[in-house]
């Protein structure tokens, strides 16, 4: 479904992503881990071109997302939902408006239809009663679940999660992870950047370890966590696993 070929990203002199090759299959849950500064988030943000790749190509459902001449990146982004570390709910809109804005404006849904979809999604993330609330009135965990609902409202083919639980108080993390688990079990294709190792173990079909802009190891979670091959991967896992 997504095919990344020789992807490079430079910020000035800083070489953040180095020749990344990666394929994500339909229905697959790929979890990206690695030390901070290793380029995980940049990789994820390149997938919908919130970051402009410096070179290389990304093929999404058979279409190069770099091909501006033949394909509208805005149309492609509609099929790639994204969830951010800082939630980024629209602060001047209530929950219902947050969720229905894009479907109404971009998919020509009428308000009634869009609100019905939104209500189903709110039910799914367990926040039915919050439709009239403003972001400022919600807790971090609630905001993030609304943000997931907002992304799902466009019925995307893939969901990108950029450290979705890193800005949350510990007691909120579970609610958000549960929503993500449900999504995974429904067969949603997901690419997740996270520090939640136990979540990665449980939900991932494949775990990827990045270090200094390179993809150093990938495989099923049992293999990655129990028997990492690359010395830097061993080093990283030793440090994070010891935390638990």
Enumerate binding residues for another protein (CB under 8 A).
Answer: 48, 50, 74-78, 80-82, 84, 86-92, 101-102, 105-106, 134, 136, 147, 150-151, 154
At its nearest, how many Å lie between another protein and the CB of residue 92? 5
* Smaller CB separation from another protein, 34 or 135: 135
If the CB atoms of residues 48 and 217 are measured against another protein, the closer one turns out to be 48
Name the minimum Å distance from CB 222 to another protein: 32
Smallest gap from residue 206 Cβ to another protein (A): 23
Environment class of 198 (CB within 10 Å of its CB; exposed 0-12, middle 13-18, buried 19+)? exposed
Taking each helix axis from N to C terminus, what angle separates 111-124 and 95-106, rounded to the nearest 10 degrees?
130
Phi-psi map region of 73: left, alpha, beta (phi>0 left; psi -120 to 50 alpha): alpha
Of 92 and 242, CB closest to another protein: 92
Q: What minimum distance in Å lies between the beta carbon of 118 and another protein?
A: 14
Strand-pairing partners, residue 214, are 211
CB of 230 to another protein, least distance (A): 32
Beta-strand (E) ranges in the chain?
2-11, 14-24, 29-33, 55-60, 63-64, 80-83, 158-162, 189-193, 206-211, 214-219
- Considering the complex, state which of residue 44 and residue 233 has its C-beta at the smaller distance from another protein: 44
The least distance separating another protein from the CB of residue 134, rounded to whole angstroms, comes to 5
Q: Could you tell me the two tokens for 49?
A: 């071109």
Which CB atom, from 103 or from 213, has the smaller least distance to another protein? 103
91 versus 110: smaller Cβ distance to another protein? 91
For residue 205, report the phi and psi dihedrals to the nearest 5 degrees.
-85, -30
Residue 229: phi and psi, rounded to 5, are -95, -45
Neighbours of 174 (CB within 10 A): 13
């Amino acid at each position: 479904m997504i095919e990344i070929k020789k992807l490079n990203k430079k910020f000035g002199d800083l070489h953040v992503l180095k020749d990344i090759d990666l394929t994500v299959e339909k229905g697959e849950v790929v979890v990206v881990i690695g030390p901070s500064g290793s380029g995980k988030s940049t990789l994820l943000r390149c997938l919908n071109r919130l970051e402009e790749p410096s070179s290389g190509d990304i093929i999404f459902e058979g279409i190069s997302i770099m091909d501006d001449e033949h394909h509208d990146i805005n149309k492609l982004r509609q099929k790639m939902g994204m969830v951010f570390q800082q939630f980024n709910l629209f602060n001047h809109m209530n929950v219902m408006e947050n969720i229905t804005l894009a479907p109404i404006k971009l998919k020509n849904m009428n308000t009634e239809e869009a609100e019905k979809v939104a209500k189903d999604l709110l039910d799914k993330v367990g926040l039915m009663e919050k439709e009239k609330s403003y972001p400022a009135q919600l807790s971090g965990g609630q905001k993030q679940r609304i943000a997931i609902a907002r992304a799902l409202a466009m019925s995307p083919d893939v969901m990108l999660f950029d450290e979705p639980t890193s800005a949350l108080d510990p007691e909120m993390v579970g609610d958000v992870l549960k929503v993500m688990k449900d999504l995974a079990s429904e067969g949603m294709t997901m690419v997740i950047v996270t520090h939640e190792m136990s979540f990665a173990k449980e939900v991932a079909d494949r775990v990827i370890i990045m270090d200094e802009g390179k993809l150093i190891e990938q495989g099923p979670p049992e293999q990655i966590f129990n028997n990492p091959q690359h010395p830097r991967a061993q080093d990283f896992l030793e440090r994070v696993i010891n935390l638990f």
